[in-house]
Every structure is written in C-alpha cells, then in structure tokens.
Copies of this chain bind each other. A is one copy, B any other.
Amino acid sequence: MMSSIGGSLERMSTQKTPRIDPLTVEVVDLIGTVVARYHEEYEEAASEHALTGAQARLLSLLSLEPLPMRRLAQKLKCEPSNVTGIVDRLEARGLVERRPDPADRRVKLAAVTVEGLGVARSLRDSLRFAREPLAGLSREERVSLRGLLLRMLSGSAGVGGPGGS
C-alpha cells in the first residue's frame, strides 16, 4: 500500500525544485521502503488477530493503561466520534470495556479486558519487524543507527517521541 511513496521521488533532480543530491534521494527512498515494510507487517499482524489497523492501535494503547475516550482520540489523531465506533466493535468482541470515571461522571474510561490483554500481547509478539530486520545488524551498527535516527528526528520540528500526543 505504501510502496509507491519512495518511488515518486526518484525523478526529483529533473525539476526546477531545490536540487536534491542522489545520495539523499537514495536514503529517502530507503526510508520509504522501511515505512512500507513496517506498515505491511503491522496490518498483517493485526489481521491475523481479526483486527483492523485502527483497532489494533487502540488495543495496544489500552494495554498500557485505561484512557478516557477523548485521550484515545488525541493519541490516535482522529475525532472523538470515531473512537466511539472503534471501541464499540472491540467491546462487542469482549476485548475492551467502558468504565465510569469516579472523578468526573462525564468521562468514560476505556480499558482492556483480560481477554483483550491476551490479544494485545499476542499481537505485539507477532510484530516480527521488531526482531528480523535488525537481526542482520551487529550491536555497534545498532548503536550507530540509533544515533543517526535520533539526529535525524531531532533536527526537524514537531517531534515528541514514539508515544505521541
């Protein structure tokens, strides 16, 4: 699904755009490939558990801690009205439940059930991307990659960290 993104940058040097050197184009294309791989594997892992991508992400979030619907919308970067439906479907499968918030009766806390936690763990375990691609790198190479990615991310705006929001 994402495999076309990187490729579309290949002819950049023929345009009147600020020129980009071939090395940079190559690195950007490689990042595009990594992005495509990451996505394919995430969607595949989700569908192995009969979950959509959005459901899998929400379930993973809740496996860490219960959250108000509003907070879930912020973390998923979507409107609160959408969260209602996603939680509905997970709740119908018994993976998630809604609890009242004692401190504010307007708030509903979404929380994983025991079964939901099991699915979340199984989902996480099937994310092979965490193991295989990095398996080809030595410890020093991983340290080096970590440093480069950190510099790459901190060098531009609007980045908080993996947890988002």
Contact = CB atoms under 8 A, between A and B. Distances in A.
Contacts of A39: 35
A145 B35 contact: no
A83 B11 CA distance: 25
- Identical chains bound together, number: 2
Given A9-B124, A64-B11, A18 B131 contact: yes
A144 B140 CA distance: 12
Interface residues of A, number: 82
A57 interface: yes
A137 B27 CA distance: 11
A60 B5 contact: yes
A164 B43 CA distance: 17
A78 B58 CA distance: 24
16 contacts: A1-B57, A1-B77, A2-B57, A4-B75, A7-B60, A7-B64, A8-B60, A8-B63, A10-B64, A17-B121, A17-B125, A18-B131, A25-B130, A35-B35, A36-B162, A136-B151
